[in-house]
A and B are shown apart, each in its own frame.
Chain A
Amino acid sequence: MGRIIIPGHAHDHHLHTPDEDGIDRRGFLNCMAWAGAGMAWVAASGVLKSAPLPRLDQTADKRLAAGDFVFAQISDSHIGFSKDANKDVVSTLQAAISRIQALPVAPDFLIHTGDLTHLSKPDEFDTLQQVLISAKVGQVFYVPGEHDMLADDGRQYLDRFGKGTRGHGWFSFDHKGVHFIGLVNVVDLKAGGLGNLGGEQLAWLNDDVKSLSPSTPIVVFAHIPLWSVYPEWGWGTDDGAQALGYLKRFGSVTVLNGHIHQTMQKVEGHVTFHTATSTAFPQPAPGAAPSPGPMTVPADKLRGLLGLTDVTFVKRSHALAIVDHDLA
């Protein structure tokens, strides 16, 4: 039985912490200390309820306990895009970086879940790297989106970001007891299909996790959602279920994706799925428009629909608290 949490629009923070039996009251209040004004939708026992997040004491202790850490996720920067939906994607990317630098706890690293560029052009990759280097955000881990693999079957991307990765750019690393896995599901896409991991990557994944203890928290990140968000628009991964099968025995699995340019979240047992907004342009909600293309909104509304995500690993509960921030 899963709980579905769908953030409302025009909010600043959205928070979810998965617990084995659901969010208990104390855990909920601790979580709320991280949130500001906004709306939270929570489904409990199949009933959707919404409530404004309470404004709590602004001096609430935001220091981390020992063993906790924060990392940030940005996605879909689409450097090179310049159409009605956003004529200055570099500026909105910089706004996202500023928000990261203003977080109460500095992230240990940044994850970019793909579509770094719009057309895989060298100057687009150059610009992205320059913005991130000058922002001094520290180490950045990348997985490509389909827009990054347009040149020479991904050569541009791999030449820059492929070091230490396998195949089309997949890899894993450990950080303070959490195992992070970057997957590539945007290559060798089949006609009529969705995202694709492929046999070689799946075999690698199975091998990568097989000797980890089930209490190891796992964070998987990939561009296209690994779960079926909206197949009609290609928002899913054909062999995603197989990957999740290899992770079934783990007590805490968090799946972070991009591609759909809006936040969406689902909890299924021990697995939390979360998608991030873009730093470049929003896309419509599933089925709300004829196609999933860039959505043009009034200029004063744009930054409210772009953003980043920060994730806190809470060691005592082996859980990850996910907070979305917009750029308004």
Chain B
Amino acid sequence: MSTRRTRLNALAISAAIVAITAIYGTSVHAGQGNPPAKAVAIEIDNFKFGLVSIDVAVGTTVTWTNRDDVPHTVVSVKKVFKSPPLDTDEKFSYTFKEGGTFEYYCSLHPRMTGRIVVK
């Protein structure tokens, strides 16, 4: 095959892929009517919440994973959420369905604090 034709073929294939993606993408969005939900992971390590203060969108699910050799908890100051004691590698998730600022801390080691700002 000549170089020119190879290039034209490649271009055609690329264009097709872009078109198909656009159609597929558009139809998904049209079907849901909402942007896709987000997930954020926070590691708990060395008696600290890995992301101390973060901004997330409404509908985001935050998952905390404990990497320390001692248990920790994730407790909101406003008492909106409260994890069970998390041993090493255990997780806790919470989906923020409403906006606001959520201060939280570890009820075992209260010097450990964090904040989620939901917009």
Contact = CB atoms under 8 A, between A and B. Distances in A.
Interface of A: 83-85, 118-120, 146-147, 150, 189-194, 231-234, 290-294
B69 A84 contact: yes
B69 A193 contact: no
A34 B85 CA distance: 43
Grouping DSSP codes into helix (H, G, I), strand (E, B) and loop, the A interface class, with mixed when no group exceeds half, is loop
Contacts of B59: none
Contacts of B88: 83
Given A85-B69, A146-B109, A150-B108, 4 more contacts: A83-B69, A84-B69, A193-B111, A290-B46
B96 interface: no
Contacts, number: 56
Grouping DSSP codes into helix (H, G, I), strand (E, B) and loop, the B interface class, with mixed when no group exceeds half, is loop
B108 A191 contact: no
Contact of A190 (B48, B104, B110): B110
B47 interface: yes
B77 A191 contact: yes
Given A146-B108, A233-B111, A234-B111, A293 B69 contact: yes
B69 A234 contact: no
A132 to B, nearest CB: 23
Nearest to A193: B110
B71 A147 contact: yes
B51 interface: no
Interface in B29-84: 46-48, 68-71, 73, 77
A85 B48 CA distance: 20
Given A192-B105, A293-B47, A120 B85 contact: yes
Contacts of B110: 189-194, 234
A119 B71 contact: yes
17 contacts: A83-B88, A146-B107, A147-B108, A189-B107, A189-B110, A190-B110, A191-B77, A191-B104, A191-B110, A191-B113, A192-B111, A231-B111, A234-B110, A291-B68, A292-B47, A293-B47, A294-B70
Interface string B3-28: 00000000000000000000000000
Contacts of A234: 109-111
